[in-house]
Structures are given as structure tokens and as C-alpha cells.
Amino acid sequence: MAKTCTDKLWDLAAAEVQSRESGDGDDAGGGGEAVGERTVFIMGSKTGGKTSILLRCLDRDEPAKPTLALEYTFGRRATGHNTPKDIAHLWELGGGTSLSDLVQIPITAASIRCLSVILVLDLSAPSALWATMETLLQAAQAHVDQAASRARQVDKSRAAGKRSASGHFAARVLPKDFPDRELLSPFPVPLLIVGSKYDRFQELSSDKRKVICKTLRFVAHYHAASLIFSSIKLESLISKTKSFFSHLAFNVDVGKTVSCDPSKPLIIPAGADSFSQIGSPPTTDVDITSLHARNPKDLWKKVYQRVFPPENTGEKKEVKDPTKDPQYGEPQIDAMRAQKDQELEEYKKNAAKSWKGLQLDS
């Protein structure tokens, strides 16, 4: 009996799954994501414009809604006529630093093979900038290291008895001609730092702008990351930001534009800066030797926080109840929830009366 079209598709699907599980396919990670599939994890300042920037990079004309916790979407790009489209899996973390534990969801042993991270920092809120950056980068790097370790264990078990180890997970290695290569602490996966709300950033004094620019240049170069200032109100900056995004999501050439002038938006691809160009921390009334820094990054942190004392954002207390958010409304479910809440209140009142009665009887 001849096979039907459905049978053939079923066989192809089964063969594809078997190929991925055995690690024999042409996938980019030996059992991880297929060729043409990448993962981009976006995190950053609360209300820093992450969703707006993402929508503009995807050419989606829709209003940005607040990201409640962790949201997933995807982007596709055609590579040629009658060829499969590249796919970018896009995860966005909401809540600023309050939900940093959720980074473990998009950062896995499978996604780590083709993972990039975008950190969006609100330039108009400099007092919260360093704490947000430090907290999120530490959380992301911890889970990247864990996922990388698991990926290596999987690769090791699959490599047993095989002639080739191609396609296995490999840690990020900088080119030999990367500036200050021996002095850096590269982020384990490609990292892009986006300074958002550049239009409002321009309202700060020139001295403060200079401190922020030099500090972010240092942090970006120290982690071998790219850095760009952006604003959804300035089309030219969104266009440049989209170029960096497309490079991470679809491996598109990022271009050769470089701008290190603090009086203009910073546009610095990874490897286009150096410590000699950045210079020393911008101190005017502070003796650097009195700061007792443990390492260069700690020194920049202390200088930055002298200019912009950290503030308690209270983000942990501001996380909203998703059941009360109108953008997730479900009339039937909400009506049932209201009924159950009312029944619970009645039960609590009756239980309290019963308890008081027991106390009187005793």
C-alpha cells in the first residue's frame, strides 16, 4: 500500500527529531537550535523602553504594552528566494531587577549555543543605572555559566564513540587583535548595551553626560560588548539600533559606523574602543587613591556613584498583581475569580465567628 502525503510528512518529522537527538544533523549546536535559529534575551531598566525598541526593530506598528514578567515573541527574516527564513526567538524580561530570577527560563543549555543578550539602560535615570546594570548582568552571567556547563556535559556524552566533535558548544573567545584582550572580562555570550531615552539624556548637564558616557564605554569594553545610545523619538538612532539588533538576531553585518564623541550619541561596536581612548574615571573633586577599589571596575563604580548616588527604587514592592492587569483580562475567568474571592471572604468571616464562639465556651 502506497504511503500518503501525511505519512511522508510524519516520517520526515520523526527523522528530524531523531537527527536532533542523536546530534547528527546540521544544527548549529549539536542538538540545540537549528541552523538559522537564534535567541536574543532583552533585559534592562524598568520602564526603560525595551518593548518600544523591540517593536521598532521588528517593524511592528503597534502600541507598546508594559511587560509584566517575561514575554516571548519571535522575528523572521528571509535569506533568499524559496529558502527557509531565519528565526529569532526573542525573550523580554520586565520589572527591571525585581524579576531577575526569571533569566533562567530563556537561558538554557539549548539556547546558549546561539544566545545573545541586550541590556537596555535608561539614560534619563542615572542614579539607578549602575545598580540595574550590575544586578542584571550578574544574574544573566551566572545562568549563562550554568547553562554552558550543562551544554558541555551533553556534548561530552554525545561525543563518545564519534569521530568528529564539530558543532559542540564552545566558550566565547575574543580575536587575538581585540584591544586590551588580556585585561578584559568578556561576557560569555555576545552582549549589546543600549542606552535608551537619549532625547531626555541630552537635558542633563555636559559634565554629567560625560561621566555616564565614559562609564558605559568602560563597562562595555570591559565586557567586550557593543554600545549604542538610542531613542524611539529619533529615527536615525532607531535605524542604527535596528542594525545592531539584526546582527544579533539574524547575523546581519552591523556596519562600520563608530562614534565615541560624548556630545553625540555613542555608537561603538565591540572591539572598536580601548582603555587608552576611554581614559581614566572622570574625577574632579575625588582622590582616586582614597576609594579603596578592589579592581578597575570597582573603581569606576565608586567614582560613578559619587556623582550619581544610588537610590532605593523599591522595585521589589512595586510588582503588580497580574490578575488585576487589564491587558490580561478574561471576562469569564475574572467573573469566576470574583465569585470565588467572595466565597473565600464569607468563609473567613464564618470561621472567625466560630473561633470566637469556641473561645467563649472555654
Residue 43 phi, psi dihedral angles, 5° rounding: -145, 170
Res 18: pLDDT: 54
What is the rounded distance in angstroms from the CA atom of residue 23 to the CA atom of residue 167? 9
Res 342: pLDDT: 82
Res 255: pLDDT: 84
Kindly tell me if the per-residue pLDDT of 114 is higher than 70: yes
Q: Which helix (H) or strand (E) holds 70?
A: strand 70-78
Q: Which helix (H) or strand (E) holds 129?
A: helix 126-159
Kindly tell me if the per-residue pLDDT of 1 is higher than 50: no
Domain assignments of the chain as residue spans, ordered by start? 29-158+170-307
Residue 246: closest CA among 94, 104, 40, 105? 40
Percent of the chain with pLDDT over 90: 56
Contacts of 254 (CB under 8 A, 6+ apart): 226, 243, 244, 246, 247, 269
264: which 3 cell numbers? 553625540
pLDDT category of residue 48 using cuts at 50, 70 and 90? very high
Res 164: pLDDT: 47
CATH superfamily of 29-158+170-307: P-loop containing nucleotide triphosphate hydrolases (3.40.50.300)
Res 9: pLDDT: 58
Q: What is the pLDDT of residues 230-280, one digit of tens each?
A: 999 999 999 999 999 999 999 999 888 999 999 999 999 999 999 999 999
Q: Of 35-39, 64-68, 231-235, where does the model show the most confidence?
A: 231-235
How many other β-carbons are positioned within 10 Å of the β-carbon of residue 337?
Answer: 12
What letter would DSSP give residue 34? P
Res 269: pLDDT: 97
Res 104: pLDDT: 92
Kindly tell me if the per-residue pLDDT of 221 is higher than 60: yes
Kindly tell me if the per-residue pLDDT of 53 is higher than 60: yes
Q: What is the pLDDT of residues 305-325, one digit of tens each?
A: 999 999 765 554 444 565 666
Q: Is-contact 53 47, C-beta < 8 A?
A: no
Q: Report the mean per-residue pLDDT for the chain.
A: 83
How many other β-carbons are positioned within 10 Å of the β-carbon of residue 100?
Answer: 21
* Strand pairing class (85-93; 37-44): parallel
Q: Of 119-133, 151-165, 341-355, where does the model show the most confidence?
A: 119-133
Res 159: pLDDT: 74
Tracing cell 528571509 back to the chain, one arrives at 78
Kindly tell me if the per-residue pLDDT of 165 is higher than 70: no
Res 30: pLDDT: 39
Please report the sign of the dihedral spanned by the C-alpha atoms of residue 56, residue 259, residue 234, residue 69. Answer: positive
Of 167-171, 184-188, 297-301, the range with the lowest mean pLDDT is: 167-171
Distance between first and last Cα of the chain? 83
Q: What is the pLDDT of residues 82-101, one digit of tens each?
A: 667 889 999 999 988 999 99
What is the rounded distance in angstroms from the CA atom of residue 177 to the CA atom of residue 94? 37
Res 284: pLDDT: 62
Res 106: pLDDT: 94
Tracing cell 535608551 back to the chain, one arrives at 196
Q: Give the residue, 160 or 322, on which the prediction is more confident.
A: 160
